[in-house]
Amino acid sequence: MSTAAGLITVPVVLGERSYEVVVGPGARHLLAEVLPADARRAAVVTQTGIGVEVDPGVPHDRFEVPDGEQAKSLAQVERLCRGFAAAGLSRRDVVIAVGGGVVTDLAGFAAACFHRGVRYVNVATSLLAQVDAAVGGKTGVNLPEGKNLVGSFWQPTAVLCDTDVLATLPPREWASGRGEMAKYACLLGPAGSGGGAGADLLSLPLPDQVARCVATKAAVVAGDEREGAGRMVLNYGHTLAHALEAAAFDGSRGWDLRHGEAVAVGLVFAAELARRLGRIDDTRVAHHRQVVTAFDLSGDLPGPVSAAELVDFMARDKKAHHDLTFVLDGPRGIEAVPGVARDDVLATLIDMGAADER
């Protein structure tokens, strides 16, 4: 990482696909500087409620997408791509995503599809996007059968994380971002004597918190860009999280669960499952709960749900290869563990309060 003029620059080293993530107050004002030099036109993708204006320095068209996970659909990808075509966007132009994780996931995937791939820049406006979603090149949309089941690896040309724009985030959006930060605290491991990595990360100024998470992710992505094995650790806590989100897609649950809040539950579940499998002890489970609590999050299931239903959603997870695969803590640290027995997963969920319908 490098620091200049109050901004922190974190490189994502991927050969010819390398780029920089700029973190700090006012970072969004660098947009015109980080655009590809030969881009003549831009498509700015955002949401009505974002309220963050950007100046790409080239002629541009604005495209608004709906709020919430419902925006991450193939229908919205088609709508965006047709809009890009009508606006005359060429393969040498650029898509600019201005928003949180929903916008960066959706706009990045539309950019990957249009003309078989146009360049894009992320201007991340939520804590969740800044610490995780906008970095690393994983783009995608949801299906009724599961979250992020359709997507691609398509790296941005730059990412701008302006911490000034976080001042207006609602409390629940802060909570969502902190769920991903809790994941990174767990990945960084226990540190110091005041409560572990969660406490250490939270002691930093906000731009440094964001940059620490980005640097952790960048190091993992540089070693495994397309999730062959090592990058799976970035999905820590996400297998249950995605199952909870997928279970609520039809709106019948009455849950108001943000992604990061679901990740917090997933982190506790992953620790409980690892203990059941004999991979970690009570102390490590307690550490996970302490980290989640330090970020003012809950590790409890959000409401009544069937353990068997959640396991069925987990079996569709993109890490799985016709089995149940989880990212779990253990003697060698956090790693992907394939072939976990369904009964062990069910028993762990039931112990956490899910309904037993066996």
Residue with tokens 């080239």: 58
| C-alpha to C-alpha distances, 302 to 6, 225, 236, 289, 299, nearest whole angstrom | 39, 33, 19, 16, 9
According to DSSP, residue 306 is labeled B
At position 219, the amino acid (one-letter code) is: A
Spot the catalytic one: 69, 173, 180, 272: 180
Check if 173 is active-site: no
3-state secondary structure at position 11? strand
Check if 231 is active-site: yes
Check if 235 is active-site: yes
Spot the catalytic one: 16, 116, 322, 358: 116
Check if 217 is active-site: yes
Spot the catalytic one: 69, 148, 235, 319: 235
As a whole number of angstroms, the distance between CA 94 and CA 135 comes to 17
Spot the catalytic one: 225, 227, 245, 261: 227
Check if 242 is active-site: yes
Check if 180 is active-site: yes
Spot the catalytic one: 28, 119, 138, 178: 138
Check if 78 is active-site: no
Whose CA is closest to 54, among 157, 123, 126, 119?
A: 123
Spot the catalytic one: 242, 287, 288, 318: 242
As a whole number of angstroms, the distance between CA 358 and CA 349 comes to 12
Quick check: 145 and 316 in contact, CB under 8 A? yes
Spot the catalytic one: 231, 258, 287, 288: 231
Q: Return the axis-axis angle of helices 259-276 and 282-294, rounded to nearest 10°.
A: 170
Spot the catalytic one: 178, 217, 288, 318: 217
Check if 259 is active-site: yes
3-state secondary structure at position 9? strand
Check if 142 is active-site: no
Angle made by CA atoms 24, 29, 35, in degrees to the nearest 5: 110
Catalytic residue numbers, as ranges: 116, 138, 180, 217, 227, 231, 235, 238, 242, 259
